[in-house]
Copies of this chain bind each other. A is one copy, B any other.
Amino acid sequence: MSGSEVQKPPPLAKALYRARQGDSPCAACDVRHLAVCSALEESDLNELEAILHHTQLSAGDTLFDEGEPSTNVYNLTTGCLKLYKLLPDGRRQVTGFLFAGDFVGLANRDEYIYSAEAVSAITLCRFEKRKLDQLMHDHINFERRLLGMARFELAEAQDQILMLGRKTAMERISSFILMLSERAKRRGDPDNPVGLPMSRNDIGDYLGLTTETVSRTITRLRKSGTISLDTDHKVIINDREALVEIAEGY
């Protein structure tokens, strides 16, 4: 792991700039409205800041491995992180891709139940679980927010299960592109040329397919005109209606 840990001042230039204006780092955070942190009043943010450490990792760095004691939870502030599980013979299942504002660690108990690796360069806020639990105890809204997030993730997991159990390769790829597009929109990023920061191999391990099948299927979508490939890992959705129809299984 080559990621360095930066204390207090957040690595985001913009946040730093705003912080110098007089606001606290958390109050200036670009993704606070997306994250758990939105559960706290501005006046309570200093409590959060007191227990948080800013961290950054480069693409390919490991944040933690499945089976390690889960002493920390994280909030992703920039970049893309992947979560995955391995079978003894090396088969891999990527269980999720996380983006700015996403929370890491809801599902874990005493040990991490998956490994986490940076897809791109990322920045995160790290919390010691023990301290966050304490803070949560005093702020019931924080706990409620966490329950809301857990319920949301549970609903998303059901969709993922349907996809893996019953959808074809073409339906999976279409669903995947649409999901990335919708999530980008939700966090305020452009939803049409949609970023695909992860490799074909990562996509395959997320969708239960091989890289070859991912590649061939994307080619088919491209040749049919439904999507186009931009440079720099971006997909242009030319016909969203068609993509939705395919994804839903019509």
| A interface, CB within 8 angstroms of B | 85, 87-89, 91-93, 95, 106-109, 113-114, 140, 143-144, 146-147, 150-155, 157-158, 160-162, 164-167, 205-208, 248-250
Q: How many copies of this chain does one complex carry?
A: 2
Find the B residue at minimum CB distance from A147: B147
- Tell me what chain A mostly uses at the interface: helix, strand, loop, or mixed: helix
The CA-CA distance from A74 to B106 in the complex, in Å, is 24
In the bound complex, do residue B87 and residue A154 qualify as a contact, i.e. CB atoms below 8 Å apart? no
Pick the contact of A88 from B161, B162, B250 — CB < 8 Å?
B250
Find the B residue at minimum CB distance from A204: B165
Q: Specify which chain B residues have a CB less than 8 angstroms from the CB of A151 in the assembled complex.
A: 106-109, 150
In the bound complex, do residue A154 and residue B155 qualify as a contact, i.e. CB atoms below 8 Å apart? no
In the bound complex, do residue B153 and residue A113 qualify as a contact, i.e. CB atoms below 8 Å apart? no
Q: Specify which chain B residues have a CB less than 8 angstroms from the CB of A95 in the assembled complex.
A: 158, 161-162
In the bound complex, do residue B249 and residue A166 qualify as a contact, i.e. CB atoms below 8 Å apart? no
Pick the contact of A155 from B109, B147, B165, B207 — CB < 8 Å?
B109
Find the B residue at minimum CB distance from A92: B166
Find the B residue at minimum CB distance from A146: B147
Do A107 and B161 form a contact, CB below 8 Å, given A89-B250, A147-B147, A249-B91? no
Query: Known contacts A95-B161, A147-B147; can you find 20 more A-B pairs with CB under 8 A?
Result: A85-B158, A85-B162, A87-B248, A87-B249, A92-B166, A93-B165, A107-B151, A108-B151, A108-B155, A113-B158, A114-B158, A140-B140, A143-B143, A146-B147, A147-B150, A150-B154, A157-B161, A161-B161, A164-B165, A165-B206
